[in-house]
Amino acid sequence: MNFEQWMRSVLERVEKALEHYLPPESIAPARLHEAMRYAVLGGGKRVRPLLCHAAGELTGARAESLEAAAAALEMVHVYSLVHDDMPCMDDDDLRRGKPTVHVKYDDAMALLVGDALQSQAFVALTEGAALAPAQQAALTRELALAIGSIGMAGGQAIDLASVGKKLTREELETMHRMKTGALLRASVRMGALAGETPDAQTLRALDAYAAAVGLAFQVVDDILDATSDSATLGKTAGKDAKDDKPTYVSIIGLDASRALAVQLRSDAHAALEPFGTRAQRLAELADLVVNRVS
């Protein structure tokens, strides 16, 4: 199976799993369930589910286990996007090529969609027998730590406080490691933990891979925000500069940002060396992230 075929088959499984774990609109409260489904289904690159599946292949995880973990990761990710787009945060009206949830519905509904998606993620992790009880506990802890105050929510707090400020490159990196890196790292770790329990060395190598890919993802996001257009991105382009937000492009410039993304792709590949061809999909995903701008 080549990479494109692999991606297609994983994406198909991800959509089915999301459909399975999202409450149907036929159940009350219908409007909340409709809005959750509007936010999650039919859009997005599904980077976190893809990382989760690729890492799970390393440890022989069952498809059913990976489907639950990947659905949880995507629901949490969408929750963060819905809240991030609200007027009290980034105030955006376009996401995945569609009106954002607070624009299509209202602010209260956007808050509730985010809240409910976060809860639903933990339902997915702990429902049925997709994951063994020890794995449920391990994955629940990974996800909870990644999205709390020392992870995604903490990174978002630093981000909001940094508007209009000059950050050093190190401070910018810390913010991104928490805001987007922590969930990407959890995607890789949760995939691996859904299979045969990985040893400490394996987890260390996967952490190094995830750190490089996570940062590359952010550098690429900054480059695209500065160089692409809203129609291509499906979200408002040029927003970082307009909002006076520190980015890799504003701190080190466009050419150095491109060079950094390429360097991080090499770092990601180097971290996978101990796994040989077993990590082929993870390596290809690092290429996919960076090749958008190189």
Q: Which residues of the shown chain bind ligand GRG in the complex (CB under 6 A)?
A: 44-45, 47, 77, 80-81, 83-84, 96, 152-153, 156, 179-180, 221
Least distance between ligand GRG and beta carbon 130 (Å): 22
Least distance between ligand GRG and beta carbon 244 (Å): 16
Least distance between ligand GRG and beta carbon 271 (Å): 21
Instruction: Pick the closer one to ligand GRG by CB: 60 or 97.
Output: 97
Q: How many CB atoms lie within 10 A of CB 214?
A: 25
Least distance between ligand GRG and beta carbon 179 (Å): 5
Instruction: Pick the closer one to ligand GRG by CB: 131 or 286.
Output: 286
Least distance between ligand GRG and beta carbon 248 (Å): 12
- CA 287/CA 152 separation, integer angstroms: 24
Decide if 146 contacts 186 (C-beta within 8 A). yes
Least distance between ligand GRG and beta carbon 77 (Å): 6
Instruction: Pick the closer one to ligand GRG by CB: 47 or 264.
Output: 47
- List of residues 6+ apart from 71 with CB closer than 8 A: 14, 17, 18, 20, 21, 49, 121, 124
Decide if 175 contacts 167 (C-beta within 8 A). yes
Instruction: Pick the closer one to ligand GRG by CB: 131 or 223.
Output: 223
Instruction: Pick the closer one to ligand GRG by CB: 34 or 240.
Output: 240
Instruction: Pick the closer one to ligand GRG by CB: 131 or 216.
Output: 216
- CA 84/CA 170 separation, integer angstroms: 23
Q: How many CB atoms lie within 10 A of CB 255?
A: 9
Instruction: Pick the closer one to ligand GRG by CB: 148 or 274.
Output: 148
Least distance between ligand GRG and beta carbon 284 (Å): 17
Give me the residues paired with residue 98 across strands.
95
